Structure 1
Amino acid sequence: MKLITLILAIAVAFVVADEEELPLAEACDPEVCKLPDCRCSLTGIPGDLLPRNTPQFVLLTFDDGVNIQNIETYRATIFHRKNKNECPIGVTFFVSHEYTNYQIVNELYNQGFEIALHSITHQIPQTYWAEADYEVMMREFGDQKTQMSHFANIPSDALKGVRMPFLQMSGNASFQMMASADLTYDLTWPTTRYQDPGLWPYTLDYASSQDCITPPCPSASIPGPWVLPIITWSDLEGRACSFVDACFSRPDLNDEEGWFRFFVTNFERHYFGNRSPFGFYVHEWFISWNPAVRRAFVRFMDLLNNLHDVFMVNANEVIDWVKDPIPLDEYKRKPCRQIPRAQCAARSCGPLTSSHTEMSYWMQICNVCPRVYPWLGNPLGQ
């Protein structure tokens, strides 16, 4: 175990040293770094709004593949929900490629939910991501943008967000990739230092003040991409957790009331604080496998959807608001978002041979069948 730890430390140190060949970002001056294109890493509310005049945004996200099992949970719990302003709720799905049903991705998009990128391979070990350079990031995410748009038949410019597997940062590489691939935001980077008050989204034009939980973290000036910090929850013993299902000290899995209170307590830290975006980050299996948690989850969403100043939105909508921070009353009067409907010429493809394993695959897609199973270096399976 000590040897493995030493190897990991050397690998990470090597990546950090390599990243630092880029010029280090300078300290941020709020008088120079101004919206809509630049923001320092601060806890202050954008636009210098007071908390009572600030919409409380709630970010519900799900990670990993989309398939015929987990779509049943999504249809039963989040479809057709509306915020108090009568606009449909927003949810962001960070989708990985393997075993994903792209016809269902198309369905989620047409329901008004945001589709974002979670890599083609989602492979282990975690050091793969810590050591990944710009070229690897382009193959994993830049190519996935093309892949997702092609097989789910959704607009490429609708794909805005990135979440790294295992929340493992890759230093400057992933943000350099985002700038090249016209991706808007990253929702990977946890913070425990800026939990209360929470850290609002910011750009990397200048040096970040955010604590680095899973190094290497970015060090260079990379204009363009936004960081949407994962503001950690506190478990029942006050320890930080980035995902709902990753909290160590938590209510009994059969205690619906305990879970509901747990959700509300973590939400109130934001709601009664600086109204930084509240993240409810979870894997679908945790909700579907635990009926009491699922009931508490539905109750919690019912509560949120009945509060006049709380809005479940997708992650890109938060970035849009931060760029142009309008007061609560004006936000409530905004027209609901509209998306063009994406058609799906449904096809079932397979068996498809693969380059990374001896397995054969079937794919459910909205386009022409690939020749082989799409993978790294060949995202369209040509």
Structure 2
Amino acid sequence: MKVFIQTLVLIGFLQVYNVDSARENSNSKVDVNLEMAEPCDFLKCSLPNCRCSDVKLCEKIQTEKIPQFVTVTFDDAVTALNFEYCDKIFENIRNPDGCSPSATFYFNHEYTDYTKIHFLWTKGHELALHSMTHGMGTSYWKEATVDVFLKEFGQQLEMIEHFAKIDKRDVKGMRVPHLQISGNDSFIAAKKLGLLYDSSWPTTRFTSPPLWPYTLDYKSVQDCPIGECPDASIPGLWENPLVSWEDTKGYKCAMLDACIHMPNDTTKDLVNWMISNFNRHYLTNRAPFGIYLHSAWFQKGEHYFEAFREFIRYLNKKPDVYFVSASQVIEYMRNPVEGKPFKECPRKHKSTCNAKMCQLRKIDSKDVRYMNVCGSCPAVYPWIENPLGLKITTF
């Protein structure tokens, strides 16, 4: 009976991401020039540019001396609402080294406020790619080729630099919408775009102890609950796995939105549940603890946001817990040390944003979109194949 229930919950977990029926085993999209990944050789794979997939950090650092990283990540458009949430979450919070906390925003283009993107950047938060269009369901991403990923994520890079006035070299990571990776293709695209890491791949198997980030030089031991997962060697590209949470009945959920069996909607019960998930990291191997969510999750219950803030304050009382961005985790992974993880605080940027609100039309549907940008307005609403909105169209 328990196996049957677990099967139903896994199906429900996948349905949260609208996953279609499993892809047939096919190598039709695999680049024939790619070398297939071999089992990891711990002697050949060494830092700072190669790391085997493993639940251990390294032998030279005692577990209790490993800094516990917490990564708060938001998916989808950045709006005034989730901008405000981030401000309130980290209000009066400092890391043990005196540095400001950092969150990571995996944002897509449509409905994003590029002035808010700019100001998040000036505050030291990380901006990462989540595609131009967000696609048209999971099948779009499941069938996407390298060229599609290069357009969706490469053209988004152009937009970030142009409309948010952010140096695109500061954009280091990506997450595929719905966590629907496409075999090797999204990872190849990430490598071609010069990104440092991907964070699209959940694990339900390696949760206690959790899986540490690793590179894709060699074959990964990570399970593939959504699939299709990579099998090629993609040297130097880091994978920052999404270690699943457990709901109150022990079923796995890659993002908070996907947790089915929630505690009672009281601050105390919600905080205790969050702490129990945190302890699977903190009391085992200290692998980074990821909090993956959409800001709409805070509105699902009366006490969700209040409980989340209380949980952050609880963590902040610990002398070895650091709120960092996903790219900071990778920075640490390349040179792990005891205690204080970084030599200096992340660099903050001065604002260069001349904010402007633009009323635009989409070329395909002629729908009106309002778009806040830093600088001048585009001629039409930017979209894939026209990321800067340069085409003049008469409506």
**TM band (smaller chain):** over 0.9
Give the one of 70, 84, 88 matched to 1:72.
84
Q: CA deviation at 1:360?
A: 1.8
Q: CA deviation at 1:125?
A: 2.0
Worse-superposed segment, 111-120 or 289-298? 289-298
Are 2:239 and 1:237 equivalent residues in the alignment?
A: no
Are 2:318 and 1:307 equivalent residues in the alignment?
A: yes
Worse-superposed segment, 280-289 or 291-300? 280-289
Name the counterpart of 1:282. 293
Q: Is contact 1:46-1:322 (8 Å) kept?
A: no
Q: How many matched pairs? A: 372
Query: What letter is aligned with 1:337?
Result: P
Are 2:206 and 1:198 equivalent residues in the alignment?
A: no
For residues 193 and 251 of structure 2, the distance between their equivalents in structure 1, rounded to whole angstroms, comes to 36
For residues 300 and 226 of structure 2, the distance between their equivalents in structure 1, rounded to whole angstroms, comes to 29
For residues 273 and 164 of structure 2, the distance between their equivalents in structure 1, rounded to whole angstroms, comes to 36
Q: Is contact 2:354-2:375 (8 Å) kept?
A: yes
Give the one of 338, 346, 350 matched to 2:347.
338
Deviations 1:262-312 (CA, angstroms, capped at 9, x unpaired): 100000010000000001111111114534111111111111111111101
What is the TM-score of this pair, normalised by structure 2? 0.90
Query: What letter is aligned with 1:323?
Result: R
Q: Is contact 1:41-1:209 (8 Å) kept?
A: yes
For residues 319 and 110 of structure 2, the distance between their equivalents in structure 1, rounded to whole angstroms, comes to 40
Are 2:393 and 1:367 equivalent residues in the alignment?
A: no
For residues 338 and 375 of structure 2, the distance between their equivalents in structure 1, rounded to whole angstroms, comes to 43
Give the one of 198, 209, 224 matched to 1:186.
198
What is the TM-score of this pair, normalised by structure 1? 0.93
Name the counterpart of 1:223. 235
For residues 245 and 25 of structure 2, the distance between their equivalents in structure 1, rounded to whole angstroms, comes to 31
Q: Is contact 1:151-1:367 (8 Å) kept?
A: yes
For residues 358 and 99 of structure 1, the distance between their equivalents in structure 2, rounded to whole angstroms, comes to 15
2:29 alignment partner, SS class: helix
For residues 195 and 256 of structure 1, the distance between their equivalents in structure 2, rounded to whole angstroms, comes to 25
Gaps of 5+ in 2: 1-14, 391-395
Change in CA separation of 1:202 and 1:210 when aligned onto 2, cut-off 3 Å: same
Give percent identity, aligned residues only.
Answer: 39
For residues 20 and 316 of structure 2, the distance between their equivalents in structure 1, rounded to whole angstroms, comes to 44
For residues 80 and 348 of structure 2, the distance between their equivalents in structure 1, rounded to whole angstroms, comes to 24
Are 2:106 and 1:106 equivalent residues in the alignment?
A: no
For residues 113 and 91 of structure 2, the distance between their equivalents in structure 1, rounded to whole angstroms, comes to 18
Q: CA deviation at 1:356?
A: 3.6
Are 2:64 and 1:55 equivalent residues in the alignment?
A: no
Q: What CA RMSD, in Å, does the superposition of the two structures yield over aligned residues?
A: 1.9
Query: What letter is aligned with 2:309?
Result: V
Give the one of 366, 373, 377 matched to 2:385.
377
Name the counterpart of 1:249. 261
Query: What letter is aligned with 2:178?
Result: F
Gaps of 5+ in 1: none
Worse-superposed segment, 272-281 or 71-80? 71-80
Q: CA deviation at 1:47?
A: 5.8
For residues 229 and 20 of structure 2, the distance between their equivalents in structure 1, rounded to whole angstroms, comes to 15
Q: CA deviation at 1:80?
A: 5.0
Q: CA deviation at 1:357?
A: 2.3
Q: CA deviation at 1:339?
A: 2.3
For residues 205 and 27 of structure 2, the distance between their equivalents in structure 1, rounded to whole angstroms, comes to 21
Are 2:170 and 1:158 equivalent residues in the alignment?
A: yes
Q: CA deviation at 1:198?
A: 0.9
Q: CA deviation at 1:15?
A: 5.7
Query: What letter is aligned with 2:379?
Result: R
Query: What letter is aligned with 1:18?
Result: K
The 5 Å alignment of 1:8-27 reads 9=21, 12-13=23-24, 16-19=27-30, 21=32, 22-27=34-39
Give the one of 352, 356, 366 matched to 1:347.
356
Are 2:167 and 1:167 equivalent residues in the alignment?
A: no
